[in-house]
Amino acid sequence: MTALLEIRDLKKHFPIHKGVFSRVAGQVRAVDGISFHIDRGETLGLVGESGCGKSTAGRTLLRLLEPTSGQILIGGEDITDLDAKALMPFRQRMQMIYQDPYASLNPRMTAGDIVGEPLTIHRTCAPNERNERVAALFTRVGLRPALMHSYPHEFSGGQRQRVGIARALALNPALIVGDEPVSALDVSIQAQIINLLMDLQDEYKLSYLFVAHDLGVVEHISHRVAVMYLGRIVEMTDKLSLFEAPLHPYTEALLSAVPIPKSGARGRKRVILTGDVPSPINPPSGCHFHTRCPYAMQRCRNEEPALREVIANHLAACHLHDSGVRLPLAKAG
Ligand code: SF4
């Protein structure tokens, strides 16, 4: 079956300009060759610390940023080089929900106009049907249609995120990229928004790329999880395998910080990551993670580990697995 979304060796580098002639003095390798697919009705969680490139990956695959190289396929069709006009029908199928719903909603427009705007731009329903459609979207995301006449500042954070979700749903998309969609919300509201997204997925067979810095947040909603570090995917598998038996030391460290009793992180020794994520302008040689990895060997400094299938459907990029070593190495003692 053709995946709804497939990206192949996607790169997004930002040039750094210096001097009076704006000479290109280097590149920020925000996304540095990532590949994955998302099936219909599936959620892929994309996690990593801030600055690892996950949000840039989400924006690039939606063509909100132009990729440096690689391929983006929607339903098997390559959209990487399509011009704005040819991209239009695909734009309807791919929507985004942002981290900060307040910043992403025009404060001068009513919530009803915000949700109805995509319908007007894409002319998907007659003007006299627009209000009815917007009211139905409000109801579906748990907002009273009477709130269509209110402005963003009159809503709570959770309500604003519901407005953002209604806007994303307006054009009946197949794929929604959520860029840290619950990170700015209180924990109790986070659960409500995640449950709403899961209900909508069941109802409309939506596919999600759910970007988050917190593994605890993606655990509930994701079917599979990809872990990113400095622009590359270092581990990818189904949720259960990742939480129960991670194969990459970076995932192991992230998991050991998850305070959720339900997860496989329980009973694991805390692995403290020292130092910040290195700069993507000048990433460490070999394995990018070697400067912070508690298991780093000489080989790790010189040779980049390939992302490969270590066990069935479980990919990891780590030299440890060439010598037959299995994580977790750091069980509670
Ligand atoms: Fe650590 Fe080496 Fe594996 Fe990188 S390749 S994660 S440095 S053990």
Output the DSSP codes for 187-220. HHHHHHHHHHHHHHHHHHT-EEEEEES-HHHHHH
Residue 151 included in any domain: no
pLDDT digits (tens, 9 = 90+) for 217-275: 899 899 999 999 999 999 999 999 999 999 999 999 999 877 655 545 455 667 777 77
| CA–centroid distance, residue 230 to ligand 1 (Å) | 14
Residue 280 included in any domain: yes
- Total domains in the chain come to 1
What pLDDT does residue 322 have?
86
What pLDDT does residue 275 have?
76
Residue 119 included in any domain: no
95 φ, ψ (degrees, to nearest 5): -125, 170
| Residue numbers of the domain that contains 289 | 246-333
**Atom 3 of ligand 1, nearest CA residue:** 318
Q: What is the largest CA-CA distance in the chain?
A: 68
What pLDDT does residue 25 have?
81
Residue 204 included in any domain: no
Low-confidence ranges of the chain (pLDDT < 50): 263, 265, 330-333
The Cα–Cα gap between 54 and 46 comes to: 7
Residue 106 included in any domain: no
| CA–centroid distance, residue 175 to ligand 1 (Å) | 34
The Cα–Cα gap between 21 and 174 comes to: 44
The Cα–Cα gap between 106 and 220 comes to: 31
Residue 193 included in any domain: no
Ligand 1, CB cutoff 6 Å, lining residues: 248-249, 287, 289-290, 293, 295-297, 300, 305, 318-320
